[in-house]
Structure 1
Amino acid sequence: MRKYFITGLLILVPLAITFWVLHAIITTMDQSLLLLPQQWRPEALIGFKIPGFGAVLTVLIIFVTGLLTKNFVGKYIVSLWEKFLTHIPIVSSIYSSVKQVSDTLFSSTGNAFSKALLIQYPREGSWTIAFLTGKPGGAVAKHLNGDFISVYVPTTPNPTSGYFLIIPKKDAIELEMSVDTALKYVVSMGVVAPEMAENSEKSASTP
């Protein structure tokens, strides 16, 4: 009985969490319907709500925003809007920080998480997975003697939080694995070994 119960948990828990996350995302995105006038919302037009309609509207808004801001006029309007935000005391610091992070993570020219590394952290003799994010620059680089790199050390099992470190390049070991494989290794708390993750990726890509 115990073995069957654990087997059932191993099958149903990942499915339940997946559906819960999707439901939370879709429910949050459905809030974009509040941007529409009351008479244009699905419940007013057809008499009932359509789950996920707000998610489609959100994707459409993002697409149209990107389309409009790719031309000269759109870029000019965005630059004016950003200059306006930079003159608001508290909003300025929050917006500039989030803008820099999003540009690094989502820009096609960014170098966020370019390589998976093995470093000693939080003490010598204790090893963990880290990701190369670049090299220190500006005022920070002036105070460093030698070749240093910037790395991000994610927490487990939530890799969206972690620690930013500047370490000597010689203290980092570059791993022969993709960033996705290393992230799976971190999220699984070491249960999904790199070889297992790489094999599953190859089998998934094989028709």
Structure 2
Amino acid sequence: MRKYFITGLLVVVPLAITAWVLNLVIGTLDQSLLLVPEAWQPRHLIGFDLPGVGAVLTIAIVFLIGLFTNNLVGNFVVRQWERLLGRIPVISSLYGSVKQVSDTLFSSNGNAFRKAVLVPYPHADSHTIAFLTGAPGGDVKNHLQGDYVSVYVPTTPNPTSGFFLMMERSKVVELDMTVDAALKYIVSMGVVAPE
């Protein structure tokens, strides 16, 4: 009986977690319906709530904003908006930090998480998977002797937290592994090994 129960858990747990995350994301995105006049909301038009309409609306709004800002007029409006936000004391530092991180992570020409690497961590006799994020810059670069790279070492099983390290390039081994495969390997605590 124990064997069948564990087999059932292996099927049900991933499905349940996937359903929970999707429900959370769609429920959050459905909050965008609050921007729509009451008469146009699904509850008023068809008599009941229709899950996912807000998610579609949010995706459409993000797409339209991207379309609008991808020309001269849109770029000008965005620059003026950012200048305005840059003058508000607390918001300027918060917005600037978030924008810098999002530009790095989502930019198609950025280097964030482009390569999976093997690094010695937490000491020379053990190794872990990390992600190459670039090279040290600013004043930090002036204090490092030699060729260094910046790496992010994610924690297991939650890769959203981790450690930022600067290591000698000679100690970093680039892996023939996609970032997705490396993340699966990390999240599964080494159980799901890449092919």
TM-score (norm 1): 0.91
Match of 1:46 in 2: 46
Match of 1:198 in 2: none
Match of 1:115 in 2: 115
**Per-residue displacement from partner, 1:23-62 (whole Å, max 9, x unpaired)?**
1110010011111122221112222111110000000000
Structure 1 residue 129 corresponds to structure 2 residue 125: no
**Per-residue displacement from partner, 1:75-133 (whole Å, max 9, x unpaired)?**
00000001111111111111111111111111111111121111112223221110001
| Range that drifts further, 109-118 or 75-84 | 109-118
| Range that drifts further, 154-163 or 74-83 | 154-163
Map 1:14-33 to 2 at 5 A: 14-33=14-33
Give the AA of the match of 2:3.
K
Match of 1:200 in 2: none
Q: 2-side partners of 1:36 and 1:143: how far apart?
A: 54
Q: 2-side partners of 1:115 and 1:46: how far apart?
A: 49
Give the AA of the match of 1:168.
E
| Range that drifts further, 38-47 or 95-104 | 38-47
**Per-residue displacement from partner, 1:155-196 (whole Å, max 9, x unpaired)?**
11111221111111111111121111111100111001122x
Match of 1:190 in 2: 190
Q: 1-side partners of 2:3 and 2:184: how far apart?
A: 26
Percent sequence identity over aligned pairs: 66
Give the match's secondary structure for 2:130: strand
Instruction: Give the unaligned 5+ runs of structure 2.
Output: none
- Count of aligned pairs: 195
Give the AA of the match of 2:98.
V
Give the match's secondary structure for 2:119: strand
Instruction: Give the unaligned 5+ runs of structure 1.
Output: 196-207
Q: 1-side partners of 2:53 and 2:71: how far apart?
A: 28
Match of 1:177 in 2: 177
Match of 2:154 in 1: 154
Give the match's secondary structure for 1:194: coil
Query: Which structure 1 residue ranges, 4+ long, deviate > 4 Å from structure 2?
Result: none
Structure 1 residue 68 corresponds to structure 2 residue 61: no
Give the match's secondary structure for 2:30: helix
Q: 2-side partners of 1:150 and 1:86: how far apart?
A: 28
Give the AA of the match of 1:143.
H
